[in-house]
Amino acid sequence: MPNKEDKASRKEILRELRDANKRNTQDAFPVPHPPLNQLFDYLDQQLSTTGCDHTLRLTREFISRQSLPEIETIAWLEKNGGYCDCEVLGNVEEIVSEATS
């Protein structure tokens, strides 16, 4: 049975692994996380009125207006489950939120 030192050591290792995973995820962001959060807010607002047409139309509009790198950003979004605007909001927002919390 593990003693207190072993338990504390395991907790520390797990914390370090979680922190490293967050850093790795953040390092893979195609842009800093504030513009990503702005994208999610924009999509939330737009999709509530227009609905999703199962494309990245709104995402591409936002990227263009913000002068973000389109190819890299779209590739990263798709790699993380964002193949249309509602999936960007439903899948990718959670990844960014977990990595930046």
Full-model pTM: 0.80
> Measured between alpha carbons, how far is 61 from 78 in angstroms, rounded to an integer?
16
Q: Across all residues in the chain, what is the average pLDDT?
A: 89
Residue spans of the domains in the chain: they are 4-100
Q: Give the tens place of pLDDT for each residue, 34-47.
A: 999 999 999 999 99
Portion of the chain with pLDDT greater than 90, in percent: 60
> Residue 9's pLDDT is what?
76
Closest to 91 in 3D by CA, of 39, 24, 34: 39
pLDDT at residue 31, as a whole number:
86
Confidence of residue 82 (pLDDT cuts 50, 70, 90): very high
Phi-psi region for residue 29, left (φ > 0), alpha (ψ -120 to 50) or beta? beta
